[in-house]
Structure 1
Amino acid sequence: MASPGDLYEVIAPLLGVSHATVRAHDLALVRAGLRTTGGRGRSAAKMTSRDAASLTIVSMASDSLSDTTSTLDSFAALPTVKRWELVGKNSPIEALADNHTFLDAFAAILDAARDNQIDLAEHPKDAIGLRYYFGKQPIDIQITLHRPDCWAIVRFREPGTSEKEHIETRGYSTGKFPPQSINLKRSFTIDDRTIFALACRLDDRELKTQQELRDEMKKARIRVGSDARRSS
């Protein structure tokens, strides 16, 4: 199980924010009673998938450190919008209740990746993945948060296709919109890299760089070739 510091190490570089900023958001969630807590040392808190999803949301979309809890409040409880639904086979959010929230969906995706219910298409399970499978079909995943409207979209689609060519899209919104005087629209998107990095940390799996993976594959091919020569 991951400690808070383990998640800081994943979230900060992938979102391009400082370690101190992620830690400040996390402490704000602790003070508000919005994440798992524990003692010190061996009894320190072990982060759940909901904790990881919550910390990622606020680190993505908060305007300032004073907005941590309000940002989570705005996004976590967003209900699913059925009219945006196109269900994919074996989707990690397919089994959720009809009234599930965006935080439920985000946590379910992390659980599926952590528990190997989602198989990486091109990399070992302990790697930062680029895509995964629904069965034998390679799929890309994106999670996007929109401000100031405060709505979210989870997309699953085939690699290399446009946003409209999706296998499944789930929207999460209250249907309420900001004053029309606000003209600036912003969106924040993460994909498979962040999902699988978080999942590996939650499961205490080692994260590896793409170069490390290539080196391992090269060594494995050499071993296979040597074994084949010895047996011939």
Structure 2
Amino acid sequence: MVSSGQLVDEVARLIAYPRNAVLYPYRVLRENGAVTKGGRGRSAANVTPRDAASLLIALAGASQIKDTFAAWQDYSGLCVQKAQGGFPKGDRKPEWTAPALPHLAALPAGHSFLDALTALIESAADGSLAALVGARDGREILGGGVSVDVHGPWPQAHIRVFCSDPQDSWAEALSYHEPIEDLTEWSKDMQSRGYGRLHEHRYFNEDIVFAIADLISS
């Protein structure tokens, strides 16, 4: 039972933002129906993994606070374009038709970046992510982790789950962006909306994913 205020506090702590710099984007998302709406105090709605994913996407995608909802619109609906991975060591053959996490593997072929980040948080909450990148067969795995990357101004996102342990090295990744053939039209639209040509790249790792999952499942 976690409130939106608790989520805002935790995200602000994790990314070292002033509380209001996280609270305002969350309110904008709520006013536009992008996160759960509810009452106040005891009747306030409990936040969901999808709410947390929406907030993270809006914060990572917006270069300015005023662009929060526009960033959420640009990034949350990005469709998966490819999955890739490999097992450079060991006798396993590469299999990357679906990530090796139940929540991610259950997503449909045309799922969105928001769907995937939600599933990643759910995987952290139920322990399946930790089992994959943290420990196996009673042995702590070294070098396992998660990277969630957001690129701009052409909206792109990537989710990477990896392990660089000497005894168990592998990586799987999902990429999200509009079809390349749409780039010309996108460029015209971005110019009309006042976007510059400065390239931006923001990312966060498993620390944020696990911390948010722990909060929501507490």
* Coarse TM-score class (shorter-chain normalised): 0.7 to 0.9
Q: Name the counterpart of 2:6.
A: 6
**Structure 1 alignment gaps of length 5 or more:** 122-130, 205-232
Q: Which residue of 2 aligns with 1:170?
A: 174
Runs of 5+ in structure 2 lacking a partner?
Answer: 86-95
Instruction: Determine the C-alpha separation between the residues in 2 that align with 1:105 and 1:134.
Output: 24
Q: Does 1:150 align with 2:164?
A: no
Matches within 5 A, 1:80-229: 80-82=80-82, 84=84, 86=96, 87-90=98-101, 92-119=103-130, 131-132=133-134, 138=141, 139-159=144-164, 167-175=171-179, 176-177=182-183, 179=187, 183-204=197-218
**Per-residue displacement from partner, 1:71-95 (whole Å, max 9, x unpaired)?**
1110111000136463443354112
Q: How many residues align?
A: 192
Provide the identity percentage: 26
**Preserved contact between residue 75 and residue 157 of structure 2 (Cα < 8 Å):** yes
Between stretches 77-86 and 12-21, larger displacement belongs to 77-86
**CA spacing shift, 1:78–1:159, aligned 2, 3 Å:** same
Tell me what 2:89 maps to: none
Structure 1 residues 50 and 83: CA distance shift in structure 2, 3 A = closer
Contact 1:25 1:58 in 2 (8 A): yes
**Would the aligned equivalents of 1:15 and 1:60 in 2 still touch at CA under 8 Å?**
no
Equivalent position amino acid for 2:163 in 1: E
The 3-state SS of whatever aligns with 2:29 is helix
Q: Provide the C-alpha distance between the structure 2 equivalents of 1:148 and 1:9, rounded to a whole number of angstroms.
A: 28
Match of 2:64 in 1: 64
Of the structure 1 ranges 144-153 and 108-117, higher mean CA displacement relative to structure 2 is found in 108-117
User: Contact (CA 8 Å) 2:153, 2:197: kept in 1 or not?
Assistant: no
Assess if the C-alpha contact under 8 Å between 1:90 and 1:134 holds in 2.
Answer: no
Summarize the Cα distance change of 1:62–1:202 in structure 2 as closer, same or farther, 3 Å threshold: same
Root mean square deviation of aligned Cα: 2.6
Superposed CA offset, 1:109-161 (max 9, x none) = 1111112233368xxxxxxxxx5358879431110000101110001111479
Task: Check 1:102–1:6 CA distance in 2 against 1; reply closer, same or farther (3 A cut).
Answer: same
1:21-71 deviations in whole A, cap 9, x for unaligned? Answer: 100001101111111011122110210111000011112221222211111
Please give the alpha-carbon distance, in whole angstroms, between the structure 2 residues aligned to 1:134 and 1:101.
30
* Structure with bigger gyration radius: 1
1:28 maps to: 28
TM-score, normalization by structure 2: 0.78
What is the match of residue 54 of structure 1?
Answer: 54
